Amino acid sequence: MNMGNRSFKLKCENLAAISGRIRLRYRGICHITSHYNQLMEDIYDVYYVKYVKINSITETILVEYDSSKNVEIDEVIDVINNIVAKYSLEVYKGYIESKMIEGAGKYENVNESSRKLLVRLLINGGVILGTRLLPSARLPLYPMSRLANFTTVPALTSLALTSPLLKTSWDGLVETKRPNADFLTVTSIVASIMLGNSISALTIIALSDIAEFMTSYTVERTRNSIKKLLSVEEDTAWKLNEDGKIEQCGVDKLRKDDKVVIHAGEKICVDGEIVSGEAIVDLSSVSGEYMPVIKKEGEKVFAGGLIKNGTITVRAEKVGDDTVISRIIDLVENSANQQAPIQKYADKFSNYLVPLNLLLSIVVYGATRSTTKALNMLVIDYSCGIKLSTATAFSAAINNSVKNGVLIKGGAFIEQLSMTDTIVLDKTGTITEGKPRIKGVHIENENYSEKDLVRLACAAEESSSHPLSYCVLEYGKLLGVDIPIHTAIETAVGRGTYTSVDDKIVRVGNLKFMNENGIEPSYESIEFANGATPIFVSYGDEFIGVISAYDKPRNHIKRSINMMRSNGINEVVILTGDMKKQAQEVANKVNADSFRYELLPEDKANEILKMKSEGTGVIMVGDGINDAPALSYANVGISLGSKSTDVAMETSDIVINSDDPLMIPKVIDLSNKTMEVVKQNFALVVGINTVGLVLGAVSNISVFWSAVMHNMSTIFVVGNSVRMLFYNMQSNYLE
């Protein structure tokens, strides 16, 4: 290996630097974990260094230094490079060791259990090769003993490597009162040694270890994705105080409304709004969007985003466990508890197959008097492959979804998603952007001006969190109106809001709300919205006029619906609290099959229950508190967008952090592909092992080839499932 290939391991790379602070990437960190403390002490020994932080996950060294010492940034980098150079030999040794271990994979993807499996395989392979080169190694150490076959080097090695399985097989017998797959493996290994075929025993172990290594690799890839999410937060932050001074503090000390300054190369540690500055932000860990985006003053950012360039000051709205990324982590960690029905069935069914192998072994021996054929029945079993058929496929699919900013709360919802044929979409915030804009104002009562109407409307909408209320208030600011003094605001759920101004009630809401209170808007006012959403305003017993608000459909929503149809969705339904005309307008624009209008939250939930009672598998997509009942009643509830409420995220089964509606068909496609892989896995396991059992019983194949066939089925299953790790959710949706 030339020096060019390893030099990147030995030098630091400048990621971001300002006076007094520098962040360096040192890719050799992963090879000197045992020297972290010494490395930090060495850097602290530099007279101008005030603070050092080493992050092995991001492979970075953060150094804060006293800029008053008149040291240049390049000088600091040179000093740090001289310090890390002392560890070059350790880095190089670690690098060489990792290359020996990793084979075609990457060292970072090989966890502790995987390394142990690799060591076992090296020992196993070494003994097999040694006995080929030195036949005397096969001779028993105690040839006169009754247990002579157990005293050969291959036999002793087999027993040593089998020792972990002895415990699990015994525990299985004690806990379940029936033998498990490990029991079959141990029995076949011991029987092989008894028959003097210890090389076959080593082969059985080697093939089992290879299959387990591939399984471990698949699971570890999922854990690595979660690990990346868990590492998004900085330990410290730069807090902007009221006096304008910036001080460093622990992230855990931050509170709501604190202002945090975030520089290039740092990760955002709070959810909040940018109050000053501009930056290019990588939000891939939160939304799955791989292209960095420009974020400016007034825009929202979320913990976990990486500042690629620029500096911003963020007012914290959510900190610690309340941030979006913390909720994501919690959802991912809990996803393993939601097993798919097919996965539960596979686990239960496979447990009953192990005794079948024991019975087959007895029957075959009784019929043929051949110990080899009887052993073949023990070596080949269905249980391992059947269990792995579902577990590895679901694990790989969930990992893939995490990388794309989608949180699936368990394999159960992957299976359910592939079985549904109807999708129900909430209109506001799901089909539309959830950012309504005022389209126009119609005054019916000539005693009031536009400003008078908007002024009264703002009074009733002042404390509401509904998107329509927000756009009315923003329009009021644009007109420069002053909100009048009013009493406490009351809400009529699904209808509107009301308050009192100068002892007269101001009502703001939909047509139903007006009619319920004896107020009859004119036909001209009702028709004024013309497909937009009308916001009717009354004062006392008088109807004043209507505000028209338009919330445009999301980009790609129509294309998203078309993609859903190509992925097995037969019916697209829209649910909304809007009037019929507005619902019809949106349904026509996005090519929906049907719509339900003027619905309260409980009405939406009842619509879902009605569809399910008719035997329809239903997906519900929403984003707000009013969608929560429907999300919880659907076969699969999906919350869409980074602005999804906490309640929506908690009640939904799948959380899409991106605002891109194309992610919905992508997730459906992923579930369909995953279930295809599961079915393929079942076919591989049953097909290969059945052929193996038949050949093992009626032909003269050796235990070695039986072991090869059995473990190859497991390897094929895991390899087939691993494809889901690399399945490109983006490929079929590019413009």
Would you name the residues annotated as active-site residues?
Answer: 426
- Reference 575, options 622, 636, 507, 609; nearest CA is 622
- Distances in Å between the Cα of 123 and the Cα atoms of 137, 143, 202, 253, 540 are 15, 24, 10, 51, 89
Half-sphere exposure of 734 (CA within 13 A, CB side): 3
- Reference 409, options 656, 663, 604, 721; nearest CA is 656
- The rounded distance, in Å, linking the Cα atoms of 435 and 693 is 64
DSSP 3-state assignment of 24?
strand
Determine whether 306 is exposed, middle or buried from the number of CB atoms within 10 Å of its CB (0-12, 13-18, 19+). buried
Unique residue bearing structure tokens 């020992």: 123
Angle ∠(362,389,564) on CA atoms, nearest 5: 150
- The rounded distance, in Å, linking the Cα atoms of 631 and 629 is 5
- Reference 304, options 275, 280, 284; nearest CA is 284
- The rounded distance, in Å, linking the Cα atoms of 387 and 468 is 51
Task: Please say whether the beta carbons of 611 and 422 come within 8 A.
Answer: yes
Task: Please say whether the beta carbons of 281 and 305 come within 8 A.
Answer: yes
User: Which run of H or of E encompasses 208?
Assistant: helix 198-230
Task: Please say whether the beta carbons of 309 and 280 come within 8 A.
Answer: yes
Determine whether 488 is exposed, middle or buried from the number of CB atoms within 10 Å of its CB (0-12, 13-18, 19+). exposed
DSSP 3-state assignment of 536?
strand
- The rounded distance, in Å, linking the Cα atoms of 503 and 386 is 73
The structure tokens listed for 543 are 């109807």
- Reference 658, options 638, 672, 673, 674; nearest CA is 638
Task: Please say whether the beta carbons of 536 and 525 come within 8 A.
Answer: yes
Angle ∠(17,18,22) on CA atoms, nearest 5: 40
The structure tokens listed for 557 are 């929503």
- The rounded distance, in Å, linking the Cα atoms of 559 and 564 is 9
- Reference 550, options 525, 532, 576; nearest CA is 532
Report the amino acid identity of residue 679: K
DSSP 3-state assignment of 531?
coil
- The number of beta carbons lying within 10 Å of the beta carbon of residue 487 is 13
DSSP 3-state assignment of 113?
helix
Helical packing angle, 383-403 and 198-230, nearest 10°: 20
End-to-end CA distance of the chain: 42
Query: Residue 543 pairs with which residues in a beta bridge?
Result: 538
Determine whether 731 is exposed, middle or buried from the number of CB atoms within 10 Å of its CB (0-12, 13-18, 19+). exposed
- The rounded distance, in Å, linking the Cα atoms of 415 and 344 is 12
281 secondary structure, DSSP code: E
